[in-house]
Amino acid sequence: YDINGNPFSAWKAPATVVVAASNSTDEDKAIADYICDGVNDEVEIQAALNNFISKSGTVILCDGQYYIDSLYDSGTSLGKFALYVSKQSSNHDVTIKGVSHPNRVGTYNIGVGATINLTATAYDSLGEDEHLTVIGALGQKQYPNMNITIERLGFNVPGVDKDITVVDL
C-alpha cells in the first residue's frame, strides 16, 4: 500500500482522463471526463491533473481553447501557477497532451489543436515582483523517478512584461 492507503496495483496502474474545451466538438464532449465552459478552465484541468498525485496517467486535452482566469499561489519561492502537477509520490509518470498539433493561422488567430490561453484578467493579477509558471511541477519534496511530459499544446500569453515561464517541470 502507498502512503494514502491505496493498493500498490492501483497506485501504479496507468489511467487516462479526457478534458474537453467549451468549443470542442460534441463528440469530444461526449467522451470527456471534464468539460470546460470557457471561464476558469483551470478548475477542470486541475481536477483532471489531481487524479495523478500518486499514480501514473495521462490528461488528454481535446482540440479547443482553454482559458486560465485565476492563479494558484504556491506560498513558496516558486510563485504562482496556472496549472500544476503535484509531486507527492515517486516512480510514476504524468503526461499532459493535446490531440492535434496546435498551429497558428495568420498573426494571432488560432487554428486547430489544444491551446491554453492565459487571460488578461489572470495576467493583470500578477504583481511586478511575482513569478508565474503556466504548467509546472509542485511538491513538498523532490521525489525520484517522477516524469512529466507535455505534448502537442499551444500557449498564449497576453503580454511580455511579466515574469512568466510557460512550462517548468
Whole-number pLDDT of residue 142:
56
In a structure prediction context, what are the per-residue pLDDT tens digits for the chain, which is 169 residues long?
555 665 555 555 558 999 999 999 999 999 999 999 999 999 999 999 998 887 889 999 999 999 999 999 988 888 999 999 887 766 778 999 999 877 655 455 555 689 999 999 999 999 999 999 999 887 655 556 678 899 999 999 999 999 999 998 7
Handedness of CA 70, 17, 55, 152 (dihedral sign): negative
CA distances, 26 to each of 23, 40, 143 (Å)? 9, 20, 39
CA distance linking residue 58 with residue 10, whole number of Å = 15
Q: What angle do CA 43, 48, 53 make, to 5 degrees?
A: 110
Whole-number pLDDT of residue 43:
98
Whole-number pLDDT of residue 64:
94
CA distance linking residue 91 with residue 58, whole number of Å = 15
Q: HSE of 19 in the Cβ direction (CA atoms, 13 Å)? A: 30
CA distances, 46 to each of 16, 34, 56 (Å)? 14, 10, 15
- Strand partners for 81: 72, 133
Contact assessment for residue 116 and residue 82, using Cβ atoms and an 8 Å cutoff: yes
CA distance linking residue 169 with residue 13, whole number of Å = 22
Query: Long-range contacts: 3-12, Cβ < 8 Å, 24+?
Result: 3/54, 3/88, 3/89, 4/54, 6/54, 6/55, 10/55, 11/54, 11/55, 11/89, 11/92, 12/55, 12/56, 12/91, 12/92
Contact assessment for residue 135 and residue 82, using Cβ atoms and an 8 Å cutoff: yes
Whole-number pLDDT of residue 106:
47
